Amino acid sequence: MELQQIKYFLALAQELHFWNTAERMFITQSALSRQIKALEDELGVQLFERTKRSVKLTEAGTFLRDQWLPLLDEINRIHLQAKKIHEGAFGTVRIGYPGSIAYSFMPDLIASISRTLPELKVDLVEPTDVSFEQLLLNYQMDLAFRRDPAENPALQSVCLYSEPFALVVPHSHRLNEENFTGLHDLKEEKFILSNLAQTTFYTSSLRQIFEDNHFTPDVRIESDFGAMVLGLVSKGLGVTILPHSYSFSALPNVRFITLPYTMNLYVTWRKNDNSPVLKNILKQVTEAASKYMVEGS
């Protein structure tokens, strides 16, 4: 018994006319008759009562119609779901990201994914700098946005765009884009920064900025969470240096002063991952990043 035979039977059970059913199913009337006869022989039951003028369902045929019809709908639904999975339009994708792009690139990307792949579930995680590669390799994450490229040869990284660092000061601060001349303007300021002794790519970038300017910041508050740092600056508790992406947060009482230093944003994934979902997401990533290639640094 084949699924197609059941489809022929259900179509004939609805039409109760061999010629109309054959046209609907795009086969000849004789081929339809053979398929129905083969199904009856295999089941050992008569499905239709046939006369020259009419076709009627038998009691057994009526029973099978009522049982098979919802099953066929479920099979069709399952087949459609399988097709969506094959095309990468259904499933779950786990994406890691740094907090700095939570106000700009990430909302744009997720909006694009929601619009073009509405049945795809997105799981967002903000991993630490030391763990994101392992999360990818352990299949706990499918895609990661980082400030540095992956070192593991099993991972693939592509640079999406660059953006400047910015000095962030309270809105009432004496410094602005016009009168800022360099970090030496900040020798009396209290800083709010990540622990500069850390070995992350981000903190090494900060150390490089300070070393280039022969400047030692007076760090009074340490935090690795950019949103917290930004909030503390807005309260007048100090100044900081952050990626310019944080300017999209629309947090009041802060001013961003662009610095002559940039940092990149990379997207990283497993080289051997042939998931159609990943392929679709990477396309969305490229399209979303194109805006920032123009607007960045």
| CA distance linking residue 118 with residue 243, whole number of Å | 31
Specify whether the CB–CB gap between 173 and 255 falls below 8 A: yes
Q: Which of 120, 129, 116 is nearest to 94 (CA)?
A: 120
Domains 91-161+265-295 and 163-263 share a fold: yes
Q: Evaluate if pTM is beyond 0.85.
A: no
For residue 292, the model assigns a pLDDT of 84
* Tens digits of pLDDT across the chain (297 residues): 788 999 999 999 999 999 999 999 999 999 999 999 999 999 999 999 988 888 999 999 999 999 999 888 888 777 766 665 666 666 889 999 988 899 999 999 999 999 998 888 999 988 755 578 889 998 889 999 999 999 999 999 999 999 999 999 999 999 999 999 999 999 999 999 999 998 888 899 999 999 999 999 999 999 989 999 999 999 999 999 999 999 998 888 999 999 999 999 999 999 999 888 899 999 999 999 998 874 443
Give me the pLDDT at residue 296, please. 42
Comparing CA positions, the residue from 141, 88, 77 lying closest to residue 117 is: 88
Question: Which CATH number does the domain 91-161+265-295 belong to among 3.40.190.10, 3.40.1130.10, 3.40.50.1820, 3.50.50.60?
Answer: 3.40.190.10
Nearest in space to 2 (alpha carbons), one of 68, 59, 57? 68
pLDDT at 89: 63
Looking at domain 163-263, which of 3.40.190.10, 3.10.20.600, 3.40.630.30, 3.30.565.10 is its CATH number? 3.40.190.10
> Mapping DSSP to helix (H, G, I), strand (E, B) and coil, where does residue 252 land?
coil
Q: What CATH number has the domain spanning 3-86? A: 1.10.10.10
Bridge partners (DSSP) listed for residue 78: none
73: exposed, middle or buried (Cβ count in 10 Å: 0-12, 13-18, 19+) = exposed
pLDDT at 141: 93
Sketch the domain layout of the chain as residue ranges: 3-86, 91-161+265-295, 163-263
- Residues forming a β-bridge with 49: 56
